[in-house]
């Protein structure tokens, strides 16, 4: 095993670097009388939604972006939900909309996906933005978490060209869109999932390993290649009630060349990407 120390990729450092640029862009918009504005639409009070909301509000405040929360009853009917969402979507003062999902089981999000203005769709819910991600069109918005991974790799000067990348997880939230973003940077991608045969061997071959399966500490030391770059997107709670990722950090940190921790890793960058998308949207609407 290599005696070289791993570089811990701190999302907090990436977010700090992004913040400086965003503040400048917000100031420029404000000088033209435009205040970038995020609307958070939340149905009910799920604890994980509330936690993300607090982080998002704080990030918007730090970059000078206005933020409004539209809290809807958990028992709201479909018709009323669509009417309330339409009001937010049609408000010219709002530049970005974040809808917390999954919605309660009695609500159908499909009409909302079709309704949302693609340039206000700052977390890639609209089929328009999904298509743009998969076709390599950068005029749309990618989901915030996959883009946060890309921001982190860019900040730490990790070149993806020709690299063997394994992504564990095939969700539309992280795995699939992240694979497309990495492919655009000329990486060679393998996407793994629960039915992948010999998952450990596939992971071990990777020069860059991304864990996004949502299973606590499932990536063990023997699944990681010597000096691999390891990006942990998972957010879980371990048996002791502590937050942890999909990677067994304490074991893998000795083997990786670069590794992102949980917490203070990718999650710290996600709200900065959200802020970046809101600013982009405000710049877009400025010219309309």
Please, which pLDDT band fits residue 48 given cuts at 50, 70 and 90?
Answer: confident
Q: State how far the Cα of 77 lies from the Cα of 104, in Å rounded to an integer.
A: 10
Rounded to a whole number of angstroms, the distance between the first and last alpha carbons of the chain is 57
CATH classification number, 144-267, choose in 3.30.479.30, 3.40.50.720, 3.30.360.10, 3.20.19.10:
3.40.50.720
pLDDT over threshold 60, residue 23: yes
CATH classification number, 33-120, choose in 3.20.20.140, 3.40.50.10860, 3.10.560.10, 3.30.530.20:
3.40.50.10860
Please, which pLDDT band fits residue 5 given cuts at 50, 70 and 90?
Answer: confident
Please, which pLDDT band fits residue 20 given cuts at 50, 70 and 90?
Answer: very high
State the sign of the Cα–Cα–Cα–Cα dihedral 167, 170, 173, 178: positive
Instruction: Note if the bond before 74 is cis, omega within 30 degrees.
Output: no
In this predicted model, what pLDDT tens digit does every residue of 50-60 receive, in sequence order?
Answer: 988 999 999 99
Mean pLDDT in residue range 76-86: 98
**Verdict on whether the full-model pTM lies above 0.85:** yes
Mean pLDDT in residue range 238-265: 94
Question: Residue 104 corresponds to which tokens in the numbers above?
Answer: 């309660």
What's the whole-number average pLDDT of the chain?
95
pLDDT over threshold 60, residue 98: yes
* Domain locations along the chain: 33-120, 144-267
Q: Give me the sheet containing 37-43, strands edge to edge.
A: 66-72, 37-43, 96-99
Listed in sequence order, the residues at least 6 apart from 41 whose beta carbon sits closer than 8 Å to its beta carbon are: 70, 72, 84, 85, 88, 97, 98, 99, 100
pLDDT over threshold 60, residue 1: no
Mean pLDDT in residue range 104-112: 97
3-state secondary structure of 69: strand
| Same-fold call for 33-120 versus 144-267 | yes
Please, which pLDDT band fits residue 212 given cuts at 50, 70 and 90?
Answer: very high
Please, which pLDDT band fits residue 3 given cuts at 50, 70 and 90?
Answer: low
Listed in sequence order, the residues at least 6 apart from 5 whose beta carbon sits closer than 8 Å to its beta carbon are: none
């Amino acid at each position: 095993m290599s005696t070289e120390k791993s570089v811990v990729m701190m999302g907090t450092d990436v977010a700090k670097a992004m913040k400086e640029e965003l503040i400048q862009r917000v100031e420029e918009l404000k000088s033209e009388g435009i205040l970038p504005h995020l609307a958070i639409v939340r149905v009910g009070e799920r604890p994980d939604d509330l936690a993300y909301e607090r982080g998002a509000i704080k990030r918007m405040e730090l970059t000078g972006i206005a933020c409004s929360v539209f809290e809807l009853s958990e028992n709201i009917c479909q018709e009323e939900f669509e009417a309330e969402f339409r009001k937010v979507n049609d408000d010219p003062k709002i530049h970005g909309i974040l809808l917390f999902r999954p919605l309660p089981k009695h609500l159908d999000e499909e009409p909302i996906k079709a309704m949302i203005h693609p340039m206000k769709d700052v977390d890639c819910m609209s089929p328009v933005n999904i298509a743009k991600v998969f076709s390599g069109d950068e005029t749309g918005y990618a989901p915030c978490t996959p883009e946060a991974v890309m921001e982190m790799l860019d900040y730490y000067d990790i070149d993806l060209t020709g690299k063997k990348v394994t992504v564990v997880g095939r969700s539309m939230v992280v795995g699939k869109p992240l694979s497309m973003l990495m492919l655009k940077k000329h990486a060679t991608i393998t996407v793994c999932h629960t039915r992948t045969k010999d998952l450990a061997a596939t992971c071990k071959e990777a020069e860059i390993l991304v864990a996004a399966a949502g299973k606590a500490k499932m990536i063990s030391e023997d699944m990681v290649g010597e000096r691999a770059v390891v990006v942990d997107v998972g957010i879980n709670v371990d048996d002791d009630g502590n937050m942890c990722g999909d990677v067994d950090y304490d074991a893998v940190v000795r083997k990786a060349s670069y590794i992102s921790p949980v917490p203070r890793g990718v999650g710290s960058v996600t709200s900065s990407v959200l802020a970046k998308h809101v600013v982009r949207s405000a710049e877009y609407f400025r010219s309309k």
